[in-house]
Amino acid sequence: MEIQDTTNTEIVDEFYTPETIAWKLCNNEDGTSVRSQILGFGANDGSNSLTYVFEMLLSVFLEMVIHMMKIDIMQCNEENNTELDLDPDFDDFDLNLYYPTIRNKLKAASVLVSIQTIDASEEDNDYLIEVSRDRYARIIIKNNPEDTHHFDNTGNTDNYGFIPSDGYKYKTELRDIYAVWVINKKLYTVRFTKF
């Protein structure tokens, strides 16, 4: 992934990973604009390049969530003088606690993230099936008790992964691509728009 920093008159071409982009955005404390152009490098197989951009943005988003959770853990451990364990705990996770901060930080990169929260325990199953049917992928998290078997069975050591949807149909607009994240009886949809 290449980012072109255009905040000053000098153009600097550097290559970043989703992890380094998330770190840069999370540590942008003063909210200054980090205008960027995110380019996806994917297979030249005729598939839709929007899906590569979507996966990169989704990876940046998830890296930001995990980074912010680790900061919360560090602050809690400092206050309680406890041993440092940086593995995020998703037992009581609520994405809406992190969403406003992440939304504002991604705006500095000219990306708008939209989250829809659906309470799966209160919603009609037909609606949940319909929302899930058109998704690009399902997000799985290593430390989410509902997802750990995906990581245990494959030996995957990443913090998250994506399970592609068999019925996904390519879209022509980035804003029409979304992933679902099921955690603690809530279903979140995650979408991006570049502006």
| pLDDT (tens digit per residue) in 137-181 | 999 998 888 888 888 877 778 889 999 998 888 888 999 999 999
Please state the pTM of the whole predicted model: 0.81
From start to end of 75-150, where are the E strands?
Answer: 111-119, 137-141
Average model confidence (pLDDT) across the chain: 81
Q: How do residues 120-130 score in pLDDT, each as one tens digit?
A: 777 677 877 88
Cα–Cα distance, 178 to 173 (Å, whole number): 11
Cα–Cα distance, 25 to 37 (Å, whole number): 14
Query: 79: exposed, middle or buried (C-beta count within 10 Å: 0-12, 13-18, 19+)?
Result: exposed
